Amino acid sequence: MRLSSIHFAAATQLCCLSTSVVAADLTIDVKDTAGAPVVDTVVYAEPVSGPAAASKKATVVIEQKGRKFLPLVSVVQAGTDIAFPNNDSVRHHVYSFSPAKSFELQLYSGVPGSPVHFDKPGTVVVGCNIHDKMVAYIHVVATSHFSKTDDAGKAVLTGLPSGKYRVKAWHYGTPQSVSLPEQLVSVTTSDEVVAFKLNAKAVPAPQ
């Protein structure tokens, strides 16, 4: 009895060692051409082997407050729902004409009936029909490994399973005609840093 349980434990260990996924963190450092950190850059890593199976994703929120969309920039995996609650006392009319997702939430206050489903990778620029200055950017990606740079222009993609990735960076200040910068990175057991120089101004959020 005792012997067999030891055997069982050994077998379990072997099984788990051989199937365990080695993971590492990828730090991404984004600067503009003048060397200044670029905040709110969307960064993501696409496995070269193809996208992982899609899983159920939590609903993301972009609220309207003080006649602004918060946050200004969002990154979501394709297949994600986004809710657009209006936390202002004025009504908003939220829409996008972007090819990746065109939609319209007619003039409303409070929480619209249902969130909007984003299923196609690409950039979605969101506006309000009443308040011209309101804008939000959503970058929809085909990977679960994504983040946004902080004030220091840095973002960390944590727990990347080892393998090859195309690491990309997108910023709303980059001219649309410019193709996305990308780097091929081999993730092994150790953490790595990838640096991007973007042709984007470290522009402050529009007011």
Q: Which positions touch Cu ion (CB under 5 A)? A: 92, 128, 130-131
Q: How far is the CB of 101 from Cu ion (least distance, A)?
A: 19
Instruction: Give the DSSP H or E segment for 59.
Output: none
Name the amino acid, one letter, at 42.
V
Closest separation in Å from C-beta 35 to Cu ion: 37
CA atoms within 13 A on the CB side of 193: 5
| Distance of closest approach, residue 64 Cβ to Cu ion, in angstroms | 7
CB 84 to Cu ion: min, Å: 11
Tell me which H or E stretch contains 198.
Answer: strand 192-198
Least distance to Cu ion from the beta carbon of 107, Å?
9
Nearer of residues 87 and 158 to Cu ion, judged by Cβ: 87
Q: Which residue, 131 or 197, has its beta carbon nearer to Cu ion?
A: 131
Cβ closest to Cu ion, residue 30 vs residue 128:
128
**Residue with smaller CB distance to Cu ion, 65 or 164:** 65
CB of 131 or CB of 201, closer to Cu ion: 131
36/201 Cα distance (integer angstroms): 9
Best CA proximity match to 149, nearest among 198, 87, 185, 103: 198
**Distances in Å between the alpha carbon of 17 and those of 8, 48, 120?**
14, 24, 37
String of DSSP letters for 126-187:
EEESS-TT-EEEEEEESSS-EEE--TTSEEEEEEEESEEEEEEEE-TTS-TTSPPPEEEEEE
